[in-house]
């Protein structure tokens, strides 16, 4: 067993030249290895640090003050390898926590990422106040595996040890550490008695731990930041998800600072990569110790956002000294992060109808029950004074604001809440379940007709894109969810949106019989949806032959222009007036003044003729018939056989028109690339 401490241990025993050496970063293993994080818990002076040293050979007390005072003040780290029965190697990373009540906040920074716990109880003192508080914390954090260790067994006689064991068994009854599911092992860190039994128990417990997902998106909560001579900024933490490689670019949240990984160490040894479940140290480029602090997190860049709001499932501990008032301030701890939070208790049911649009403006939440009683649960919204990084599934602890004692904890359900959301408790009930498809469908549904992108679902859930696409595949096949490129849309909301679009199109046709269709942008603005959603719905309606898309116009099938007799006659008059005039066209307002229809309808008829390019607008004042302009093009082509250039005078002579018409028509020909102006003349192209 290696006793090298390196960056993750206490004494920096690894010689500095070995740290982050490129040649040592291959990280290739010849044996299968499973990484497990083991945390200690228990009252001060019950022998947690001594036990870790007896197991690993590493003194986890790294601070000079800790050694001088003989107590653990901050987190300490050690590691060891044990052989499992299936032939793989179990690499155990130990997080040793302080037991003094004044340092519970440091203890909380270390236990968030543990896989199993050693609950340490001294045989000569039995259960003490911090034993109870630490154990409450473990249960609130949802720790599922562990071993109870009775230390200092050599300090009491056999009869006393039996009495303590009975007391501990009673204390653990009904919990995840209840014997015989979890063993109680008596040891002496001084003599070594019981350590073999503890090693075997560790092998058994660690073998049953589900490995963390190394294929997930990387997440490294920071618990230490320091500078090392010759290497610069170094940080450490427990990699709770994913994999981090040397030369990876990552982002620090909150804050969003981009950093590059110059080197990686795992349990004190240089490696090419660190995987989920490993104690990890990284040497950073792009950040100084002033930029980083405990409580920040390394994540993939441009993936997540920080938050100041989170909807949670909150449980008030049975040992809480009093009920929790609505809008109470508490100390909030999650992984290595600590802040203050205001707790807004949600109502258990929502009867308000769903809004037509998702709310976007900040608003005050509905106030729920005025109190949460001890040993009870409620949905709540946590309001944080500063941005923090949280994801659904994150466990947390709350401590009373004053005096500071642990009073409860829970799990984050939604770190991207929508203000004034109807049926909130129903939504949170779905998020509190284990059905991934139902959770994703609920997140898509709450966006109503706006839809949600795949990248936004990744940011909201912390799940990889492949997981989201796989979990929603059946829902897409059933039509519960509609996929449009990168966007997911709620099926029922989309059906309602189709009806609104068809209704708006029908109303347009009714009010505008002389217009061949409504422009896409006008229709989209009426139903108030994004361009991507509109294009998706229009394409679906066109596929089902419920809508016709003609360039920039859309219309209902069979709803072309419908003209009355006087309107059809007026259309004919307008067309004849311009076709017979050639290039010496009359003023448009003069033509319209001679029609039987009113000015508004006359203008719509002109718009129709312009859309169909029967008439062509050359300038603000001049409109020409298409046939006249076609004839002009032929004249220009014929003139080109004589000369490639033409000036205004020659153009007037060729066409027989005045300067009033000549200049706008030449500019039109320039725009149409029939001619190109060169000084005072035109080159015919």
DSSP assignment of 253-287 equals ETTTEEEEEEEEEETTEEESEEETTSEEEEEEES-
How far is it, in rounded angstroms, from Cα 276 to Cα 293?
21
Class of domain 6-14+30-207: alpha beta
Domain spanning 563-685, CATH architecture: Orthogonal Bundle (1.10)
* Within this chain, domains 6-14+30-207 and 444-562 share the same CATH topology: no
pLDDT of residue 514: 64
- Mean pLDDT within 251-271: 90
Among 682, 680, 594, 603, CA closest to 646: 682
Q: Which pair of structure tokens corresponds to residue 286?
A: 């792009």
- Comparing CA positions, the residue from 482, 469, 174, 431 lying closest to residue 312 is 431
pLDDT of residue 348: 59
Most confident of 82-91, 451-460, 548-557: 451-460
> What CATH architecture is 307-433?
Beta Barrel (2.40)
Q: What is the pLDDT of residue 28?
A: 37
Cis, peptide link before residue 254, omega less than 30° from 0: yes
pLDDT score for 574: 80
- CA distance linking residue 624 with residue 579, whole number of Å: 8
**Minimum mean pLDDT range among 50-59, 501-510, 547-556, 592-601:** 592-601
pTM to 2 decimals?
Answer: 0.75
Measured CA angle at 418 (ends 413, 420), to 5 deg? 115
pLDDT in the model for residue 102: 65
Measure the CA–CA gap between 41 and 257, rounded to whole angstroms: 34
- For residue 249, give Cα distances in angstroms to 221, 262, 519: 16, 10, 45
pLDDT in tens, 575-590: 788 888 888 888 887 7
Task: Give tens-digit pLDDT for 396-405.
Answer: 999 999 898 9
CA nearest neighbour of 48 among 80, 95, 6: 95
Q: What is the mean pLDDT of the chain?
A: 84
SS3 of 34-94: EEEEEEEECCCCCCHHHHHHHHHCCCCCCCHHHHHHCCCCCCEEEEEEEECCCCCEEEEEE
Tell me the range of 22-31, 32-41, 584-593, 608-617 where mean pLDDT is highest.
Answer: 32-41
Q: Tell me the range of 63-67, 116-120, 640-644 where mean pLDDT is highest.
A: 116-120
Peptide linkage before 180 cis (omega within 30 of 0): yes
Judged on CB neighbours under 10 Å (0-12, 13-18, 19+), 305 is middle
CA–chain centroid gap for 174, Å, is: 37
Q: How confident is the model at residue 296 (pLDDT cuts 50, 70, 90)?
A: very high
The residue ranges of every structural domain in the chain are 6-14+30-207, 220-295, 307-433, 444-562, 563-685
Q: Residue 360 above 80 pLDDT?
A: no
Highest mean pLDDT among 286-295, 508-517, 551-560: 286-295
**CATH among 2.60.40.10, 3.40.50.720, 2.40.30.10, 3.30.420.40 for 220-295:** 2.40.30.10
330 beta partners: 341, 400
DSSP strands (E only) in 154-248: 184-186, 220-221, 224-228, 232-238, 243-245
Of 1.10.1740.10, 1.10.10.10, 3.40.50.410, 3.30.70.260, the CATH number of 444-562 is 1.10.10.10
pLDDT in tens, 242-254: 999 999 999 999 9
Most confident of 72-81, 184-193, 671-680: 184-193
User: What is the per-residue pLDDT for 388?
Assistant: 95
Average pLDDT over residues 438-453: 93
The pLDDT of residue 310:
96
Q: Which of 64-73, 407-416, 605-614 has the highest mean pLDDT?
A: 407-416
pLDDT at residue 24 above 70?
Answer: no
pLDDT at 45: 84
């Amino acid at each position: 067993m290696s006793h090298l401490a390196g960056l993750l241990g206490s004494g920096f025993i690894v010689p500095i030249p070995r740290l982050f050496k490129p040649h040592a970063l291959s990280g290739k293993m010849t044996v299968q290895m499973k990484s497990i994080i083991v945390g200690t818990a228990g009252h001060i002076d019950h022998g947690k640090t001594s036990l870790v040293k007896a197991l690993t050979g590493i003194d986890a007390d790294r601070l000079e003050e800790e050694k001088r005072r003989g107590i653990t003040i901050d987190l300490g780290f050690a590691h060891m390898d044990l052989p499992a029965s299936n032939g793989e190697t179990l690499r155990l990373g130990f997080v040793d926590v302080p037991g003094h009540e004044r340092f519970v906040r440091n203890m909380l920074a270390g236990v968030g990422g543990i896989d199993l716990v050693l609950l340490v109880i001294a045989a000569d003192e039995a259960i003490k106040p911090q034993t109870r508080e630490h154990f409450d914390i473990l249960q609130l954090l949802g720790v599922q595996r562990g071993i109870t260790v009775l230390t200092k067994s050599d300090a009491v006689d056999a009869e006393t040890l039996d009495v303590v064991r009975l007391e501990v068994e009673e204390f653990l009854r009904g919990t995840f550490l209840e014997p015989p599911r979890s063993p109680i092992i008596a040891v002496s860190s001084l003599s070594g008695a019981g350590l073999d039994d503890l090693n075997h128990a560790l092998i058994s417990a660690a073998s049953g731990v589900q490995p963390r997902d190394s294929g997930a998106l990387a997440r490294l909560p920071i618990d230490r930041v320091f500078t090392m001579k010759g290497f610069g900024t170094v940080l450490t933490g427990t990699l709770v998800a994913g994999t981090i490689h040397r030369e990876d670019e990552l982002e620090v949240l909150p804050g969003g600072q981009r950093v590059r990984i110059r080197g990686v160490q795992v349990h004190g040894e240089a490696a090419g990569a660190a995987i989920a479940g490993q104690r990890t140290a990284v040497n950073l480029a792009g950040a100084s110790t002033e930029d980083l602090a405990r409580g920040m997190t390394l994540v993939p860049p441009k993936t997540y956002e920080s938050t100041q709001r989170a909807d949670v499932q909150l449980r008030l501990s049975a040992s809480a000294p009093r009920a929790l008032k609505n809008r109470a301030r508490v100390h909030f701890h999650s992984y290595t992060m600590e802040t203050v939070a205001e707790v807004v208790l949600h109502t258990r049911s929502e009867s308000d109808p769903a809004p037509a649009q998702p709310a976007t403006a900040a608003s005050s939440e509905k106030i729920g029950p005025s109190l949460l009683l001890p040993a009870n649960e409620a949905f709540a919204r946590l309001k944080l004074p500063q941005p923090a990084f949280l994801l659904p599934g994150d466990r947390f602890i709350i401590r009373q604001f004053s005096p500071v004692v642990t009073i409860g904890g829970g799990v984050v359900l939604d770190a991207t809440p929508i203000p004034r959301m109807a049926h909130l408790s129903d939504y949170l009930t779905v998020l509190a379940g284990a059905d991934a498809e139902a959770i994703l469908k609920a997140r898509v549904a709450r966006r109503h007709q706006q839809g949600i992108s795949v990248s936004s679902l990744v940011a909201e859930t912390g799940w990889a894109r492949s997981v989201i696409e796989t979990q929603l595949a059946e829902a897409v096949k059933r039509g519960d969810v509609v996929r449009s490129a990168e966007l997911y849309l709620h099926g029922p909301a989309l059906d309602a949106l189709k009806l609104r679009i068809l209704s708006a199109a029908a109303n347009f046709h009714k009010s505008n019989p002389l217009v061949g269709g409504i422009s896409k942008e006008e229709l989209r603005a009426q139903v108030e949806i994004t361009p991507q959603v509109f294009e998706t719905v229009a394409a679906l309606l066109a596929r089902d032959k419920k809508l016709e898309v003609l360039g920039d116009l859309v219309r209902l099938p069979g709803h072309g222009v419908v003209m009355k007799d006087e309107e059809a006659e007026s259309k004919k008059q307008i067309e004849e007036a311009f076709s017979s005039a050639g290039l010496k066209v009359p003023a448009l307002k003069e033509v319209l003044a001679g029609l039987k229809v009113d000015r508004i309808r006359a203008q719509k008829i002109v718009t129709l003729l312009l859309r169909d390019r029967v008439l062509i607008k050359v300038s603000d004042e001049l409109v020409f018939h298409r046939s006249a302009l076609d004839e002009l093009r032929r004249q220009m082509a014929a003139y080109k056989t004589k000369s490639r250039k033409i000036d205004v005078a020659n153009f007037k002579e060729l066409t027989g028109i005045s300067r009033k018409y000549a200049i706008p028509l030449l500019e039109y020909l320039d725009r149409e690339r029939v001619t190109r102006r060169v000084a005072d003349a035109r080159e015919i192209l």
